[in-house]
């Protein structure tokens, strides 16, 4: 049971080149997470300590997990993911012990990157309404803070966390020496969507009429995960026609389906 709450990947297969529209975020992660693992002597000679914990925040499906996996790969580090919401909802009574196990495993498998997803489930502002399980959640969170504070390994274990709701986090968790570097991962703009579409259509056979620029224009407000879904759906529409190549029409239908748009091409009912 315990194995399921933690996902351990010795060598993640995501590279920075597979992540679109997050060049500045990648640069920041290289400096704060990758370099402390690969060139710790840089920090030693300058005489500063790298940030202990890096917090990624932003809407779902924008690439936070991809960033953590890609930096683990670049640094040849083991990637250890733990889901904050599973921790408190599926493993009631075990949260604090699991947090201890997580940090122990990270030290055993070092160099490693701990990635805690949905941190707000554990590190949410303390509730005063006596919600069931909140004492348990607090114990889990206290253990997490204790592990962060007691953390002396300078170089070879790095901690990243992700949340969709930074406003919901207990301010204690963002204090200096804890998750004190905050990186926003927002929805992609036009240029970002363009590179994400290019990444996900790299292996796709497309008709000449496919105008990705137009597709990018029509998909304002989508996340990287939505874009991946649009590309897959477009491929499915082509397969349904038994076509080996994806058409612009397939893309238009896929956009409507994923973005829940009304199909305006249909004639009005008589």
Residue with smallest beta-carbon separation from ligand ATP: 224
Is 66 annotated to bind ligand?
A: yes
d(CA 84, CA 119): 5
Beta pairing partners, 81 = 7, 115
Is 174 annotated to bind ligand?
A: no
By C-beta, is 18 or 94 nearer to ligand ATP? 18
By C-beta, is 167 or 266 nearer to ligand ATP? 167
40: exposed, middle or buried (Cβ count in 10 Å: 0-12, 13-18, 19+): middle
The least CB distance from residue 183 to ligand ATP, in Å, is 12
d(CA 265, CA 239): 21
- Cis previous bond, 257, omega within 30: no
By C-beta, is 26 or 246 nearer to ligand ATP? 26
The least CB distance from residue 31 to ligand ATP, in Å, is 19
In three state form, how does the secondary structure of 30-45 look? HHHHHHHHHCHHHHHH
The least CB distance from residue 109 to ligand ATP, in Å, is 22
CB–CB of 114/79 below 8 Å?
no
Residue 63, φ and ψ in degrees, nearest 5: 110, 15
Is 61 annotated to bind ligand?
A: yes
Is 62 annotated to bind ligand?
A: yes
By C-beta, is 148 or 196 nearer to ligand ATP? 196
Compute the residue count for the chain: 270
By C-beta, is 96 or 224 nearer to ligand ATP? 224
SS3 260: coil
By C-beta, is 22 or 96 nearer to ligand ATP? 22
The least CB distance from residue 186 to ligand ATP, in Å, is 10
Binding residues for ligand ATP, per CB under 6 A?
A: 19-22, 60-66, 117, 162, 164, 196, 199, 224-225, 228
The least CB distance from residue 18 to ligand ATP, in Å, is 6
Residues 6+ positions from 216 with CB-CB distance below 8 Å: 190, 193, 194, 197
Tokens 């699991």 — which residue?
Answer: 98
| Residues 133, 137, 138, 143, Cα dihedral to 10° | 140
Is 98 annotated to bind ligand?
A: no
The least CB distance from residue 221 to ligand ATP, in Å, is 14
Residue list, annotated binding site for ATP? 61-66, 200
Residue list, annotated binding site? 61-66, 200
């Amino acid at each position: 049971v315990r194995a399921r709450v933690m996902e351990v990947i010795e060598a993640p297969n995501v590279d920075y080149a597979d992540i679109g529209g997050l060049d500045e975020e990648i640069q920041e992660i290289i400096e704060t997470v990758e370099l402390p693992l690969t060139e710790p002597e840089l920090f030693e000679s300058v005489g500063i300590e790298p940030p202990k914990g890096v917090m990624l925040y932003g809407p779902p499906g924008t690439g936070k997990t991809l960033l953590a996996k890609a930096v683990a790969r670049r640094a040849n580090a083991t990637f250890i993911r733990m889901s904050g919401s599973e921790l408190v909802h599926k493993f009631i009574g075990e949260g604090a012990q699991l947090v201890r196990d997580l940090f122990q495993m990270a030290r055993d498998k070092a160099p490693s990157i701990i990635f805690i997803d949905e941190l707000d489930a554990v590190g949410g502002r303390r509730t005063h309404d006596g919600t069931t399980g909140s004492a348990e959640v607090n114990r889990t969170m206290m253990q997490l803070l204790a592990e962060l504070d007691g953390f002396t390994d300078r170089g070879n274990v790095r901690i990243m966390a992700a949340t969709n709701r930074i406003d919901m986090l207990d301010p204690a968790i963002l204090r200096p020496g804890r998750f004190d570097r905050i990186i926003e991962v927002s929805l992609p703009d036009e240029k970002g969507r363009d590179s994400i579409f290019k990444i996900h259509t790299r292996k796709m056979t497309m008709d000449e009429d496919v105008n990705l620029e137009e597709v990018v224009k029509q998909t304002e407000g989508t996340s990287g995960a939505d874009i991946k879904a649009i590309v897959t759906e477009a491929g499915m529409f082509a397969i349904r026609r038994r076509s080996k190549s994806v058409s612009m029409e397939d893309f238009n239908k896929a956009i409507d389906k994923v973005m829940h748009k009304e199909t305006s091409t249909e004639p009005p009912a008589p």
